[in-house]
Amino acid sequence: MNTRLLVVALATLALGLSRPLFGEDKPAAAGTGYTVLLDLKIDEKGAVEDAIVAATEDSSADHVLERISMEQARGMKLEPRLKDGQPVKYSVKAPFVYPVEGDEPDANLDLVRPIIHKAIQPAYPAELAAKGEIGGVILEAVIGVGGNVKSLTVLRSTNPAFAAAATAAVNQWYFKPALRDGTAVESRWRLAISFATDVRMPDWKWRFAPRPSLGNYTVLHPTLPLPPAAPPAPAGK
């Protein structure tokens, strides 16, 4: 089954921004989050005049963490640097760390990750859709050697109805199982299932599963009216 229906790139949606850890903030413990590394160009007054992504662990379709990092960088003010007593421009690498509860980046590194073979899209709970409520669910799945979901645990969710919808669907998913040295093995993975509208997206924390992660999937509920259909083209003479 084509699983692209589960992935939605919503680059222009309003986002709940969470400030990353940078500079004088207390750094995150190793392996507890996703990092975006920016190359910053600093002017003579210490303001950021340019920024580019040097390295990233942002796997989202719309590069949400990279965009948050760039927005944060634009508002930063650093200490000016002097050369021969005069302020000068300089460059600096700036890591923006986004802590994720339960992240285990070293888990399953010896495995070829499972591939979704059959997926049922979660249904957006009608009562929450009617209220325009958005949210997300973080799941942990144990995938058997046959590719079935042996067990599924809700690690956290914004609403029990979202959790119920996500588990009902993911329990029916089938995978090409993980491989170790070419042999199928049972494995443990996490998934982020977010529920969004066409004008609002959940906070990034509901779009990034702690590793070992199988990915991030969005269920979209449209709220805006569809544009009117184009009039038919005139018949040719």
pLDDT (0 to 100) of residue 140: 98
- For residue 202, give the amino acid letter: P
Residue 223 has pLDDT above 80, yes or no: yes
> Does an H or E element contain 178, and which?
strand 178-180
| 58 and 125 inside one domain | no
Q: Are 121 and 137 found together in one domain?
A: yes
pLDDT at 16 over 90: no
**Residue 24, domain member (yes or no):** no
Distance CA 168, CA 177 (A): 20
H or E, element range at 71 = helix 64-74
Residue at a domain's end among 99, 116, 140: 99
The per-residue b/e assignment along 38-51, b for 16 or more CB within 10 angstroms, e otherwise, is bebebeeeeebeeb
Task: Tell whether 199 is covered by a domain.
Answer: yes
User: What are 126-170's pLDDT values in tens digits?
Assistant: 999 999 999 999 999 999 999 999 999 999 999 999 999 999 999
In angstroms, the CA 116 to CA 236 distance is 47
The tally of domains found in the chain comes to: 2
Is residue 192 included in any domain, yes or no?
yes
Cβ atoms 58, 66 nearer than 8 A:
yes
Residues 139 and 63 in one domain: no
Q: What residues contact residue 42 under an 8 Å CB cut-off, 6+ apart?
A: 48, 49, 78, 81, 89, 90, 91, 92
CA atoms of 54 and 70, how far apart (whole Å):
12
Q: What is the pTM of this model?
A: 0.80
Q: Are residues 95 and 107 in the same domain?
A: no
In a domain, 4, yes or no: no
What is the distance of C-alpha 191 from the center of its chain? 10
Residue 65 in this model has a pLDDT that exceeds 80: yes
* Residues 116, 145 contacting (CB under 8 angstroms): no
CATH number, position 147: 3.30.2420.10
Domain boundary pick from 44, 77, 99: 99
Contact 85, 44 (CB under 8 A): no
Contact 138, 60 (CB under 8 A): no
Q: How confident is the model at residue 5 (pLDDT cuts 50, 70, 90)?
A: very low
- Residues 158-204: tens digit of each pLDDT: 999 999 999 999 999 999 999 999 999 999 999 999 999 999 999 99
What is the domain extent for residue 119? 103-221
Q: Are residues 156 and 214 in the same domain?
A: yes
Beta bridge partners of 188: 142
54's tokens: 């040097």
Q: What is the mean pLDDT of residues 51-68?
A: 95
Whether residues 66 and 115 fall in one domain:
no
